[in-house]
Structures are given as structure tokens and as C-alpha cells.
Structure 1
């Protein structure tokens, strides 16, 4: 089913014709031409049955004895096929907020996820006749696509590289929108935007995962500190040797590196020990 334009005529012109038919019928009845007047009234009823009013951002799908004849998208008053039935469908942009879904990510961790879908109808024929209820169809397919995307990625990457639900929200939203568009094409719906509105670990593992995140952050910070400390110790020894300020043997180099590493890596500030000499 594909949307097409239906035959229509300007409604104001049709109203003028209807008024003329009413005047003619009254004149004929006054002249006692009842049969001719009845035919005029019958013509009036036929034309009046085809009057359709279309609101802004609305479409009317016209069916004639069960057959789809076309749609009217232009707002205003129109005269279309008499004795036809028209169904309205909104073309406005709408939002759908999914419920918080509990799913397992690719690593099997239970998470809670929700999204907002911005969509609009672009094909009134598909929306009305190819699916039972396009609004309910959008809701079900949105939640299905959200579940499918959530199961393809981990909540967060602690050790491996790649996309994650928390670290790549833009990429995940783009993939969700692309998959939704493929699913909703049959209903004549265009997905304008898809965004995650809620993402969290399920309550039963939230505490454990928080500790894991904290441990990963501490390890990453320690690695940076150790790398910086090693570079600073090397730079200090090379600077002393280049300027010839002091002469250091291997044992003193090791002692100096040890002291520098302890001073830099330690969580607490180092306490200097001043050697004032020996009593003997």
C-alpha cells in the first residue's frame, strides 16, 4: 500500500454549487415540479456527501466501498468522491517515551534502559492499512529494537576496546534510530530522532559494579602516576649527570630513584629526613 492523491475539487466552489442546487430545488417545488425538484435534491445529497475538511498537519485517507482511492494532505475544505469514507491520520511530530526495560547486556549483566523516540507519519496509506494500529506498532517495535541494541554491547568497557552503552551514547542512539527506521518502514513512519533517557545497572548488581568502576579508576590513575614518576626520576638523574653537580654510583642512583618514586607515588606527602652528621 502506497499513498497517492485522490480526486478532489475546491470545497468553496462545491458549496456554491450546493447553494445553487438548494435554490433550484426550492424554485421547482414552488412551481410544482416535484419530480425534477426531487432529482435536484438527490444531486445535492450526492455532492454534499463528498465534502471533507482537512486540518493542518493532517491527512485524510479516502476509501470507496472498501477500496483505497487516495489521500488528501492539503488543509482546507474539499469535495472528493461522493459516498466515500475518509479516515484521518495526524502528520504531526510526536514523542514516545519507552518504559524502563530490564535487559542483559552482551556480558550478561542486568541493566535498566529507556529511550525517547521522535517520529511522524509520512505515508498515511501504510499507517492506516498496512498495520493494525500504527501507534501501538511504534511502541512495540521501539521497545523491541531497544532491547536488541542493548544486548549487543556491554554497559561499560573496563578492559577491552570497542563501543559501550555508557561510553558511546551518540553511536548507540544512531544505531537505535537506524534499526527503528528499518522496522517502522512498513507502517509509513519516519524516525526523526532516538535518544537514551535512562541507563543504569539493575539494583541487584549496582553496588558491586560501582566498586568495580572505582577499582578500575584507581588502577588507571596509579598507572598514570607510576609512568610519570619513572619519567621524572630519569629526568632528574640525567640532569644531575649532565651538569656534573654530583657523582652518583649505581647504588646511590638506585637509592635516589627509590626516594623519588616513594615521594611521587605515595598518597601522603613525603616527610624529609635531614642528615645532620654523626656524633662520632
Structure 2
């Protein structure tokens, strides 16, 4: 079997439920519509599923003029691009400080009510500027890189070792690959999918967010998958790694079923 794209996912609002898509336009900052919205506290610091696990239960629906959010025991929240505020405020994602376009007080109130803490919702607007660390390459509200790739074989390998089943959704990838061996992606340096060439930049470090069940919003009592991954995927820096961060080197379109062409390889860390 040749290596190919099994699934594609976007996460329009950072830390909320993903959307499976059959194809996607790849832009400089990642897949179209991926992580273009960010929930913050009143000071602009990002809020994610690491601290608010129930964020994974927020569902997003895209429409022609914006998107619609749904969550348990909450009314639907329509968000229209043309109705967003013109104001840009400082926001923070990890160590990056930049500006996001404030959406609306209605969105703030809806999220505050659902999460039980005062929130703000921001859009990565035309005047928002952020770059991948130590590069000039743009990135939106993702943790640090435009895309994340994981192979199905790597997840299968993990589940053969884990004390409880782990789903791919817990790792929140953009691209899921099939037809390769476990952790084959660790040895890729440059790849081509469809129209787009990607730099496989670095392994993705994983945190407690991976222990949140995407169906129930509850954390694993056994702290899986981190407990198992720590046994064989922990780097010298103490971080736990699973999946690879990608930087697109050009724009174009990718589809489910596209062949993964390995342009160049590198020595894997593990």
C-alpha cells in the first residue's frame, strides 16, 4: 500500500471540535479556516482545552458568511464576518504577543456563559500578524506551526501499548496519513501532497490536552496517552512527542487519498 492522506481536519476555533473535510486549500498559515478564531481571558491570554476541557464539546458549522457555534445546553451562536468589530486588541498564544480582531460582545457573553469564566473571542483578521518562531513564515492561532500530521500506524502502535484506547481526535491533527509504518513521519524532511510541498519542521510536543476524551470532555484518570507515550516518546528535553509539525512551502489544494511523496528524509530523533 502506498502512503496517502486518510483524513483531513480543520479546527476553526482553537480547542473546539474538529471538522472532517474531503479536501482543503492550503494557505501560508495552514488549511483554510483552520484555527482562525481564539478564545481568551479578559487580558487577551489564550484559553484552551488544557484548562477548559469542555471546549472540545463546542461544535462549529461553516456557512457562506461565517460560522455557527453549538454547545450542550446552549443556543446556537451565529458569527458573521461582516458584523465583527473593527477593533484589534492584544492577544497572547504561548510566548507570542500580537493583535486579534475582536468579534462581538454577543460571542463573548455566549462563551463566558458556557465556560463559566469571562471570555473574549478573537478572529485572525487582515491586520493580525504572527510568525512561526525564528522564521518569517505566517501562522494564525495554532500553537506554533501551520499544520500537524500524524500517521494512522503511529496511533495503532500507541494503542497496542496503552492501558486504554486513544482516538486520533485527541491529537487534533490536520492531516492523517495511512499506508506507512509507525512513526515513519519522524524520518520525513520534505514531502509533497497534491499541489503543495511541505517542510516537516519538528516533532510536536504533547500536553495534558491529549488526555481529554473528545466525546465526553472528561480527562483520562490514567493520564493516557501521556503515561504510555512517556515510556518511549520522551525527548532529552523531557517533552513528549507525537506527530510532526508542517510548514507549507507554497499554496495549493490537497485531497483525501492524495499520495504522500517523500522528497527528502532526515534522521529521526527517536
Q: Do both share a fold (TM > 0.5)?
A: no
Larger Rg: 1 or 2? 1
More strand by share: 2
More helix by share: 1
TM-score normalised by structure 2 residue count: 0.18
Greater relative contact order (Cα 8 A, min sep 6): structure 1 or 2?
2
